[in-house]
Structure 1
Amino acid sequence: MSKVIRLRHALPLGPDINASVSALDKAIADAVDAAKAAGLPQGLIVGLLHGHAHAQTFQMVKQQE
């Protein structure tokens, strides 16, 4: 797992990383708001987000092997 960066060791974060994190956060918040407005149950929204988090974690771990 040599490509994994621990953020506490990389602080302060550069402006490009801060901008990317802000953009990602806004995109997720906008998507959740749109899903709520469309009437999706909150549990389904949470389940989908949780599933994507697990899938991304699996991909990161698998790439490091």
Structure 2
Amino acid sequence: MSKVTRLRHALPLGQDINTAVSTLDKAIADAVDVAKAAGLPQGLIVSLLHGHAHAQTHQMVCQ
């Protein structure tokens, strides 16, 4: 986990990080909106997001 940065130690965040976070947040929100419009059940959307979050956490911990 040596590549994991605790944000409270990196505050204030740089503009490049803020931009990346905003871009990621918008992309996720847009994808959720598209999924809802396509009729996917909310539980499926949530479970997919949770699965990706779990996989990324596992990858950070194991590397």
**What TM-score results when the alignment is normalised by the length of structure 1?**
0.94
Which 4+ stretches in 1 moved above 4 angstroms? none
Amino acid aligned to 1:3? K
For 1:52, the equivalent position in structure 2 comes to: 52
For 1:40, the equivalent position in structure 2 comes to: 40
Which runs of 5 or more residues in structure 2 are unaligned? none
1:2 CA drift (Å): 2.1
Q: Deviations over 1:3-48 (max 9, x none)?
A: 2110000000000000000000000000000000000000000000
For 1:13, the equivalent position in structure 2 comes to: 13
Cα distance in 2, alignment partners of residues 11 and 42 from structure 1: 34
Q: How many residues of Structure 1 are paired with residues of Structure 2 in the alignment?
A: 63
Which runs of 5 or more residues in structure 1 are unaligned? none
Cα distance in 2, alignment partners of residues 11 and 50 from structure 1: 26
Q: Root-mean-square deviation (CA), in Å? A: 0.6
- Per the alignment, in what secondary structure is the counterpart of residue 60 of structure 1? helix
Percent identical residues = 86
- Per the alignment, in what secondary structure is the counterpart of residue 49 of structure 2? helix
**What TM-score results when the alignment is normalised by the length of structure 2?**
0.96
